Structures are given as C-alpha cells and as structure tokens.
Amino acid sequence: MHISDANFEPGSEMIMPDGEVHLWRLDLDKVAVAESRWRTVLSQDEITRADRFKFARDRQNFTATRALLRILLGSYLTRNPQQLSFTYGQNGKPSLDPSNGAAEVQFNVSHSGARALIAIARGRPLGVDIEQIRENVDCESLTRRYFSRCEQDALSALEASEPCKAFFRCWTRKESYLKARGAGLALPLHAFDVSVSLAEKNLLLATRPDAGEAALWSICAIEVGEGYEAALCCKGRDWVLKSRWTGDFTQSTRR
Ligand SMILES: CC(C)(COP(=O)(O)OP(=O)(O)OC[C@H]1O[C@@H](n2cnc3c(N)ncnc32)[C@H](O)[C@@H]1OP(=O)(O)O)[C@@H](O)C(=O)NCCC(=O)NCCS
C-alpha cells in the first residue's frame, strides 16, 4: 500500500536496522483530504496547533504530516501512535520523549507546497529539507545575505539557465544541516559550506571554526521530482538511504 493512500496502514513491527535511514515522501494533495481520520491520531496540543492555522489547506497539511509521522513511528516502535509523546529542543526540534522507551529512534520532517518528507533513523541525529522552487523569490539578494563566500562563488560560476533551481539546491542542503544540528538560525549560515554541484557525493564541504565537524556529518541530495529540491543530512558517513515512496515498503522492511 502506498503511503499517499488515504487508508494507509504500515502494519506493525517495521524494522529500523542500524545504519539505515528511511525516507518517506508524502503527496499532500492525496493525503490531506483524510483530515478527520488524521485528527484522531493527534494529541490535544497538536489539534490546538492545527486549529490555529489561518488557511484550511495549511491545517490539513500539518494534520496529515504529523499524523503520518505518528503512525510511522508507532509502527517502528510497536506503540500506539496516539500515545507517543514528543519533546522539543531549545530551537523547537521535535524528538521522541524518552518516556516512549525508544529515544534512540530519531526523525525529522519537512514540508513545502504539496510535498512532505519524513526521515527516520536509529541512533543518529538527522535533518531533512524540501523546498518548492519558487520563481518569485529574490534569489540574488538571499544568496548574498545567507550563503557563504564559497557558495556564492560556486553559484555564480554555474550556468545561468536555472539560477532559482541552484539557489534552492543550496538552500535545502544548508537547511538540512541546520535541522540535523537542531540549532535553527542559532548556527550562523556563513559558518559552513555546502556544495551546489549535482555530481558531488559529499555535499558538506567545510565547517568553521571547528573544521573537524565536517567529517562527522554527511549531506545527500534527494530526488523529489520536478519543481522541488530536497536534501538530507545525517550524523556519520556509514548510513544507507532507503526511500519509501514507491509502495514497495511491505516487501523490503517488514519482518
Ligand atoms: C523549523 C526550521 C528549522 C525550518 O523551517 P522550514 O524550512 O520553514 O520548515 P520545514 O518544513 O523544513 O521544517 C519544519 C519541521 O521541522 C521540525 N523542526 C522544527 N524546529 C526544528 C529545529 N530547530 N531543527 C530541526 N527541525 C525542526 C518540525 O518537525 C517542523 O514540522 P512541523 O512544522 O510540522 O512541526 C526553522 O526554525 C527555521 O527558521 N529555519 C531557518 C530558515 C532559514 O532562514 N534558512 C536558511 C537556509 S540557507
């Protein structure tokens, strides 16, 4: 069954081996409509948060994404999704509360436009970011403001045909690192360099002032289809990405 089916049920006892990172892609156009079902999975504070959204579409997207996060985590942990509880770091990064008995299972979520990504791993911090490519963004001034000198030089050396795409490629790679670290904008954006290349494998090029930090993390680009850019950052180099959006989940990870 595909995760974007409104009646998606992952089944119980999904396995998360050490060294694997599972990435789930949600098609929000398909899942958001089942709002009443997803609401039954949320905690009271999440329902309160959902109800504060001004636009119905934003409320539905948040509700579906948070409910599917709970359903997936519940399945990996063999726990009732509704009973899972989260804690929030200093800068708002959610993680499983140790009271769930499985604090080593870590996750991160990102949403943009009609897509959401949920990344889950065991025993390693991770961050994921997806951005819908928007042509109405002033890429040049944002590049000057937020990107490091090395990134600015690399972007200006690229073919001018798709400047916006390259900008969002760089943005998602930087954001995935920020999100993995959980530091938000407390970590200065000029304090690390990512590659904007399509070919390079290791996309975290340098960290400052601690140059050794760069070797502790790895960033990879994620293919999410036309009109979007996405990236994933995880601690360590020894992990394998398993994508979970093709409906082959049952064969490949169920016990
Ligand atoms: C949350 C944050 C880290 C990213 O926000 P965003 O890109 O707008 O949103 P995303 O959809 O990618 O991520 C949101 C999710 O990340 C998670 N999150 C929240 N705070 C987080 C943090 N400090 N670290 C990691 N993840 C966080 C939550 O699960 C959240 O989902 P929810 O809204 O459904 O609860 C935000 O704090 C932020 O301000 N980032 C910096 C933005 C920026 O200027 N980046 C420049 C990049 S070059």
CA of 236 from ligand 1 middle (Å) equals 21
- Mean pLDDT, rounded, of the chain: 88
What length is written for the chain?
255
Q: What CATH code is assigned to 20-124+240-253?
A: 3.90.470.20
Per-domain residue ranges of the chain = 20-124+240-253, 131-230
Decide: helix, strand or coil at residue 233.
strand
CA of 254 from ligand 1 middle (Å) equals 30
Q: What CATH code is assigned to 131-230?
A: 3.90.470.20
Q: Which atom of ligand 1 is nearest to the CA of 112?
A: 11
CA of 128 from ligand 1 middle (Å) equals 9
Residue 179 beta carbon below 6 angstroms from any ligand 1 atom: yes
Q: Give the pLDDT confidence of 203-232 residue by residue, as tens digits.
A: 999 999 999 999 999 999 999 889 999 999
What torsion do the CA atoms of 29, 252, 241, 101 make, to the nearest 10 degrees?
Answer: 90
Judge whether 20-124+240-253 and 131-230 match in fold. Answer: yes
Please report, for residues 97, 185, 194, the alpha-carbon distance to residue 149 in angstroms, rounded to integers and kept in the order given.
39, 18, 11
* pTM across the whole model: 0.92
Q: Give the pLDDT confidence of 79-136 residue by residue, as tens digits.
A: 999 999 999 999 999 999 988 777 689 999 999 999 999 999 999 999 999 999 998 8
CA of 34 from ligand 1 middle (Å) equals 24
31-54 mean pLDDT: 95
Distance, in Å, from the CA atom of 57 to the CA atom of 185, rounded to the nearest integer, reads 27
